[in-house]
Amino acid sequence: MTGRGEVNMKMLFRLAGLVLLFLTGVLSTSCVSENERQKGEEEANVIAEPDLTAEAAAWADSVTGSLTLQKRIGQLFMPAVYSVGDSQNMALIADYVERLGVGGLVLLKGKAASASEIADTLDVIAPLGLFMAIDAENGLSMRFEDAPKFPWNSEISPDVNEVVMFDYGREMARECSIAGINMILGPVMDVTPTGKEYLRGANRSFGGDAERVGRLGTAYSRGLESGGVMSVAKHFPGHGAAATDSHKGLAVVDRSREELLKTDLLPFRAYVNGGLSGVMVGHIYAPALDGIERPASFSPVIMDSLLRRQMKFKGLILTDALNMKGARGFTAADALGSGADMVLAPLHTEDAMVEVRDAVERGELSEETISDRCRRVLFYKYLRGIVGRKPAGRVPWNEKALHTGADTIRVLLRRGLKD
């Protein structure tokens, strides 16, 4: 009995050791995976390595100095076009690029397949590259009928954390690389007051918790940029508490400066502190920030003094679409003179460009300002591999590949990932 008992005990100890070894391996692998993920997020928190930043700055400065005033002005415009491949639309795009020399395009309704076709054409006809931008609050399906659909921001599980949002951003960047997109006009960083309808689209906001909005939006942006796609947080200084939709008129946010600082501006501060790339300024009047009744998108107090100087934002400042009624009465020249680097979707692009040139010739807008804006635009094009250096390479169009990976992210966004 004693001998057999000793054998059994030895076998039990040996089995316990094997189980312990297995569990240690699993935990170790889990820790490595999590550490790698955190490392990836930290790396995405930095705009670029110092040597690449210096290289991009030198290239942008050199090219800006070689461009005529008209070409520098062109780089500051991003007209809106439909994502369709018919001859009429392609001719319009070619005219924008070859004759007017625009710096980017905002893609509207259509197909991802057509966007890829447009991107292929631009690779040939646009020597300075173009930002190819799109709204994607529930994925590329917000504009593309053949793209994967994700939950709206308001539908995302309360259990979702930064890890899931980072992975969501990475998946979006992967899909963008197939469709030829290099800029997402998002995330929406607006904070919606509890019980109040969100006038810019009820589903577009992450909700009323400013700190959560900042965490989720910043993590998503890091995922995008780690995958080579530029993010643009919107709608600065915050549209959530507005009583009017800026598509229909000037949105007014009647909050105290203290309320704005601790609520509406908090997510944008998190984004800026994360070293991310772009901010879209809305057609929003915030009396507590600027005593003159005008949209933030035309306010030097908000774009230059607050965002650029006080918050120390180094990236691109873009306007919301100038064809919206909230921008009525103001021009692209007004926006550029007030601190914007790029103007989106003017009603008439060529006329707006002429107005900018006329403002320079009248001395209302300095040529130095135009050069400064152009230099920053080119800097980010180089930094993102859009032009000037050998890009990582765009994935060829493949509709099946576009949808690969979407299901996993959809489940995580719906269910969350509990700590």
Structural domains of the chain ordered from first start: 51-415 (3.20.20.300)
From the list 180, 173, 364, the residue with the least C-alpha distance to 277 is 173
From the list 328, 213, 230, 336, the residue with the least C-alpha distance to 275 is 230
Give kind and range of the element (H or E) at residue 321.
strand 316-321
Per-residue pLDDT, 16 = 43
Largest CA distance in the chain: 107
Per-residue pLDDT, 134 = 98
Give the C-alpha separation, 344 to 332, whole Å. Answer: 9
Per-residue pLDDT, 193 = 80
Per-residue pLDDT, 136 = 95
Burial tier of 400 (Cβ tally within 10 Å: 0-12, 13-18, 19+): exposed
- What does the block give as tokens for 35? 């550490």
What is this structure's pTM? 0.86
Ranges under pLDDT 70 in the chain: 1-51, 194-202, 389-394, 417-419
Per-residue pLDDT, 257 = 96
Q: Summarize pLDDT for 322-359 with one digit per residue, the tens.
A: 999 999 999 999 999 999 999 999 999 999 999 999 99
153 DSSP assignment: G
- What does the block give as tokens for 132? 């190819």
Q: Summarize pLDDT for 81-122 with one digit per residue, the tens.
A: 999 999 999 999 999 999 999 999 999 999 999 999 999 999
Alpha helices in 126-245 (DSSP H): 162-179, 210-226
Per-residue pLDDT, 48 = 46
